Amino acid sequence: MSTDRRSAELTTLLGIDTPILLGPFGGLSSVELTATVSDLGGLGGYGLYGYDAARIEQTAAELRAGTERPFAFNLWLPHVEQGEADVTDAEFAAAVDALRPIFDELGLELPTRPDRYLPTFEEQYEATLAASPAAISFVFGVPSPEAVEAAHAREIAVVGTATTVAEAVALRDVGVDAIVATGMEAAGHRVSFLRPAEESLIGTFALIPQVVDAVDVPVIAAGGIADRRGVRAALALGASGVQVGTAFLATNQSAATEAHRRAIRETPADRTVLTRSMSGRLARGAANRAVRTIEAAGAVAPFPVQNWLTGRFRAEASRRGIGDLQSLWLGQAAPLVRSADAADVFAELAAGLAASA
pLDDT tens-digit map of 309-354: 999 999 999 999 999 999 999 999 999 999 999 999 999 999 999 8
Query: For the chain, how big is the Rg over CA atoms in Å?
Result: 19
In this predicted structure, what is the pLDDT of residue 83?
A: 75
The answer to whether the predicted template modeling score (pTM) of the entire model surpasses 0.85 is yes
For the chain, the average pLDDT equals 96
Partners of 181 in the β-ladder:
162, 221
pLDDT (tens digit, 9 = 90+) per residue, 223-260? 999 999 999 999 999 999 999 999 999 999 999 999 99
The confidence score (pLDDT) of residue 310 equals: 97
DSSP state of 342: H
37: amino acid identity, one letter: V
pLDDT for the residue 354? 83
| pLDDT at site 4 | 81
At residue 357, the pLDDT reads: 64
Grouping H, G, I as helix, E, B as strand and the rest as coil, residue 289 is helix
Cα(272)–Cα(269) distance, integer angstroms: 6
pLDDT band at 24; cut points 50, 70, 90:
very high
Residues 20, 42 contacting (CB under 8 angstroms):
yes
Which pLDDT value is given to residue 238?
A: 97
Residue closest to 160 by CA, chosen among 87, 79, 105, 67 = 79
Instruction: Give me the sheet containing 44-47, strands edge to edge.
Output: 20-22, 241-244, 219-222, 178-182, 157-162, 135-139, 71-76, 44-47
Mean pLDDT to the nearest integer, 266-277: 96
Count the Cβ atoms, other than its own, within 10 Å of residue 138: 24
